[in-house]
Structures are given as C-alpha cells and as structure tokens.
Amino acid sequence: MPTLKPQPLAGTPLNFAADSGFYAECRRRVQAFFDEHGISPHATLGMYLKTAAILGWFAASYVLLVFVAANWWQGVLLSLSMALAMAGIGFGIQHDANHGAYSRFKIVNRLLGMTLDVLGGSSYVWHWKHNVSHHTYPNLNGADDDLDIRPWGRLAPGQRRMFFHRLQQYYLWPLYGFLLPKWHFVDDALNLTQAKVGGRGFPRPRGLRLAELLGGKALFFGWAFFLPMLFHPWWQVLLFYAGTAAFVGISLSIVFQLAHCVENAEFPHPALIERENRQWAVHQLNTTVNFARRNPILTWYLGGLNFQIEHHLFPRICHVHYPRVSRIVEEVCAQWGLRYNSHASVFSAISSHWRWLRRMGRPPARSTPTSAAQQASPRQCP
Ligand SMILES: [Zn+2]
C-alpha cells in the first residue's frame, strides 16, 4: 500500500510552523483506512469507467456538433453538452492526474494530465499555478494566484478596492465566462513570457515539456478552430467557441470559488502565518470550505471538488475516496478542537460567495477588518 506523503512545501518563503500532531493523526488514520480495506488511494474501477464516460461524452458532443448538427438549436444543445463534458474533464480527470492522484504510475498521470492541454490550457503552467501557488498558499493574498482577478474583482481583504467593486456581486458571475478565453489567449502566454505565477518565478519548460506544451496548443487550436472552419463559416465557429467557453468558464470559476471565496474561509495576512505559528495543515482547514457533501450526483460530476478540505490535505488521493476520507478528517478535527467548514448545499455555498463578494466590494469603513482575531474566529455555515 503506498504511504501517504505530506504536501511538499519546498521553497516556500513563508515558514509554516511544524505540525503539532493534527496532520500526522489525519495521515495515520487515513492510511489505516486504506490499509484496513486493502484499497489503493488511487483510481478505482469506477473512476476508470467515469474517465471513459466523460471523455466519450466530450468526443461524441464534438463530432455531433461539427459534423451532424443541422440547425441552430441542435448546435446550441450540443455546444452545451460539450461544455458540460469539458468542465467534467477539468473537474474530475485532469485535476487528479496533474496532482499525481489518479494513478501510482507517473506515465498514466502524465497522459491524463495532458487532457488539460487538449482543452487549451497548459498542464505545465497549471502545475505551478495550481499545485504550487494555490495549494501551498490558499487565500494568502499575493501568493495564491487564484485570488488575483484584478482589476475586475476584489476577492481578499488585502486587495485594493476600486469604486466599481461595489457592484461585483452582480457583475462578476457573467465575467467568470471570460476565464477560458483569457486562459487560452492571454494567461498561459503571459505566465510563460514572464516565467512567473502568483508573484513567484518558475522554470520555463524545455525539451519534452516544451514540445508537449506547444503540441497541446496546436492540437487545441486545430480541433477548436481550424477543423470546424473547414466545414462552417468562421463567424459561426467563433460564436460557438464563445458560448461554449463562457459556459465552461462560469462552471469552473464558481466551483473553485465556493471552496475558498466564501464567508467561512479565512484570509489571513501572510505576516500572521509566522507570527501566530500557523501550521500548514491548519491553514488549509481554515481557508477551505466543503459543500453539498451528501449529494452523490454533484460529487460524481464535480470530481470531489465539493470536498476541498480533503483535497487540500490529501491532494494525492484520488477524489473517489474523499467522501469516506472526509468522515475521518471531520472526526480528527473534532478531537483537536478545529473547525471543519462545510455548507450543507450548493445553494448555501453560492449564497455565501455572493455575500463575500458584496462584503469585499463595500467601502473600507463597512468592510470586515482583516485582523487575525476576526478572521480566525469560528463562524457557522448558514
Ligand atoms: Zn487541486
């Protein structure tokens, strides 16, 4: 049985305090669970079937959309179907694979991780952006790249407020639809040009990794634009790209925002991490919120992203195990007197994100202070 390793923190400029036993106990109990049941922490048969189903769903939607759809409403329905499949690949396949959680074999993780490249994102940049920047420093302004949607939105207390943020709880939802085109045409190129993400440098890809990145981009632009334009007018292809990308962007953004940009999550000032001797695992707990844990359909489709506490503590465990792992983590939290944040439904999580955006958009006098005492105080999820 593979041993569960803690998340590496090599090169962190922030010194999290050493684990006082909470994380070790979580790891011990979770390891015991896998040993006791004789199961691997990686993909199960159900996960392989799910992978085949989602990839097949995507391929079928694309072929029907490009080669079979005979009128506009068939095109719209198939475009929607393809968008749902693309988001499903993002949630449930590439995410596990790029964390090394899908399989114990590196090559399997690598190949499935490249599904992100097929969808137009770079799995190389994603590693630095998501696995390193976001997973090591969640909700630390300036270090967690996911918090940076400037100038359009203010997600964290430490960020500069602009007058129009006052209305961000209304206008950000449709703006989330620009995530994918921005990713396809701007973000990866900018990150690679600057060799920087979340304020930290990263090595530019070379050799095979560079070839994979360029090959992935060529493949994406080939299937998304070049091939369809051989059969349809260019403006129709662009219109369907815009619609599909908007739907995927809104879905991905909302699901990832619900885990961290909600009222129950903490946004500590980076200086507090060292001053208050924060432990890395406790920081993950304080900054992450689960939702709709009892909804099996949502859990299936979201690739366990409604169990982000478990994902942040155990990013190398395949998401199909999170529901059972969550019971263990919740028990250990109770024993150690640590709060375990969870919204009962997706609706309460979305409402909380809306209220958080409203709070961050208000003028300073009415916004919540960012002191550690206030931010760290336990709050009940509505
Ligand atoms: Zn992750």
pLDDT, tens digit (0-9, with 9 covering 90-100), for 341-380: 999 999 999 999 999 999 999 987 654 544 433 443 333 3
Strand, helix or coil for residue 342:
strand
- Report the separation in Å between the CA atom of 347 and the middle of ligand 1, taken as the mean of its atom positions: 22
Percent of residues, the chain, with pLDDT higher than 70: 92
Mean pLDDT for each 10-residue chunk of the chain (382 residues)?
Answer: 44 75 96 96 97 98 97 96 97 97 97 97 95 91 88 93 96 95 93 87 92 96 98 97 97 95 92 85 96 96 96 97 97 96 97 97 65 38 36
- Report the separation in Å between the CA atom of 173 and the middle of ligand 1, taken as the mean of its atom positions: 22
- Report the separation in Å between the CA atom of 185 and the middle of ligand 1, taken as the mean of its atom positions: 23
- Read out DSSP for 40-77? -SS--HHHHHHHHHHHHHHHHHHHIIIII--SHHHHHH
The per-residue pLDDT for 271 is 80
- Report the separation in Å between the CA atom of 130 and the middle of ligand 1, taken as the mean of its atom positions: 6
- Report the separation in Å between the CA atom of 128 and the middle of ligand 1, taken as the mean of its atom positions: 11
pLDDT, tens digit (0-9, with 9 covering 90-100), for 152-209: 999 999 899 999 999 999 999 999 999 999 999 999 999 999 998 877 889 999 999 9
- Report the separation in Å between the CA atom of 131 and the middle of ligand 1, taken as the mean of its atom positions: 6
Burial, 206: exposed, middle or buried (Cβ in 10 Å; 0-12, 13-18, 19+)? exposed
- Report the separation in Å between the CA atom of 65 and the middle of ligand 1, taken as the mean of its atom positions: 31
- Report the separation in Å between the CA atom of 136 and the middle of ligand 1, taken as the mean of its atom positions: 10
- Report the separation in Å between the CA atom of 363 and the middle of ligand 1, taken as the mean of its atom positions: 33
- Report the separation in Å between the CA atom of 312 and the middle of ligand 1, taken as the mean of its atom positions: 7
- Report the separation in Å between the CA atom of 254 and the middle of ligand 1, taken as the mean of its atom positions: 15
- Report the separation in Å between the CA atom of 135 and the middle of ligand 1, taken as the mean of its atom positions: 7
Residue 96 and residue 302: Cα distance in Å, rounded? Answer: 12
Residue 139 and residue 286: Cα distance in Å, rounded? Answer: 10
What are the backbone dihedrals phi and psi of residue 376, each rounded to the nearest 5 degrees, phi first?
Answer: -90, -10
